[in-house]
Amino acid sequence: MIKLSKRLDLIYDLIPHNAIVADVGTDHGWLIIKAVMTGKVSLAFGLDIAEGPLSHAKANVENYGLEDRITLLKMDGLSQFSEPCDTFVIAGMGAETIWSILEQASFKTTDRILIQSNTDLPWLRKTLFMNGFRIIDERFIIDHNKPVFILVCEYRQTSFTLIDQYIGPVLKNAKDNLAYSKYLVSRCNHLSEISKYNQSIVEEFNVLRTFIETE
């Protein structure tokens, strides 16, 4: 069986059974190959803007004989995509690229959108909220010594606070997640040092400090 990284495995776990998946920025295609091979999903689309990753994915899909269930498409984001998917994965990219893909797409309220950003998560959470997306679940793990956050979103309006932006609307209630509590304390200590020189992170520092003190 295909062995995914801890990060991709968690995204795999969050794909609903029997979903039709579009993996935007599929690169190697391993996530959807595993999802189809295990029977978790019956149909998947792998989208990528670049020829190199797509030909890599094509070779992998052909190697496993999955051409009838996985379609690979060269395209920029989702703006030209019209297949009947209900689950979208956008992972392993920076927050601005992820947002540029999301803002050009149109989603149904029943769609599930799995997002894993390599950068600026508070900004992305805020932008999602301000544009009608709701974070219904969020997972935190450490993979290869790096913090990894995976957002599970739907497209529907909701309210938004600074705690949601900096801590996460779901993770703020995950009191038993010791790895995340430890991460928040170490991030707060780090911000405490650099906030002396960088005004722009004072807001995040204050939110984290208040959150930690009231826990």
Ligand X SMILES: C[S@@+](CC[C@H](N)C(=O)[O-])C[C@H]1O[C@@H](n2cnc3c(N)ncnc32)[C@H](O)[C@@H]1O
- Is position 47 an interface residue for ligand X (rule: CB under 6 A)? yes
Of 93 and 135, which CB lies nearer to ligand X in the complex structure?
93
Q: Which of 13, 38, 50, 156 binds ligand X (CB under 6 A)?
A: 50
Which is nearer to ligand X, 7 or 40 (by Cβ)?
7
Sequence-separated (6 or more) residues with CB below 8 Å from residue 8: 30, 31, 91
Instruction: Tell which one of 70, 101, 124, 208 touches ligand X (CB under 6 A).
Output: 101
**Among residues 21, 48, 154, 164, the one that binds ligand X under rule CB under 6 A:** 48
Strand 133-143 with 146-155, pairing: antiparallel
Residue corresponding to tokens 């209900």? 86
Choose among 175, 183, 190: nearest CA to 149. 183
Q: From the CB of 90, what's the least distance to ligand X, in Å?
A: 8
**Among the listed residues 22, 27, 43, 180, the single contact to ligand X using CB under 6 A:** 27
Applying CB under 6 A, the span of 42-50, 154-162, 169-177, 195-203 interacting with ligand X comes to: 42-50
Interaction between residue 113 and ligand X (CB under 6 A): no
- Other Cβ atoms within 10 Å of 28 Cβ, number: 15
Identify which of residues 99 and 205 has a Cβ nearer to ligand X in the complex.
99
CA distance 68 to 155: 30
- The residue (of 48 and 164) whose beta carbon lies closer to ligand X is 48
Helices (H) and strands (E) in the chain, counts: 8, 7
Touching ligand X, residues 171-190 (CB under 6 A): none
**Closest alpha carbon to 211 in 179, 188, 194, 193:** 188
Tell me if 201 sits within 8 A of 157, measured CB to CB. Answer: no
CA dist., res. 121 & res. 107, Å (int): 21
> Of 7 and 134, which CB lies nearer to ligand X in the complex structure?
7
DSSP annotation string for 51-69 = HHHHHHHHHHHHHTT-TTT
Residue 92 as a binder of ligand X (CB under 6 A): the answer is yes
Instruction: Write down the least CB distance from residue 93 to ligand X, Å.
Output: 5
> What residues contact residue 104 under an 8 Å CB cut-off, 6+ apart?
77, 78, 79
Question: Which one of 24-32, 58-66, 129-137, 166-174 is the stretch in contact with ligand X (CB under 6 A)?
Answer: 24-32
Binding site for ligand X (CB under 6 A): 8, 24-25, 27, 47-50, 53, 76-77, 91-93, 97, 101
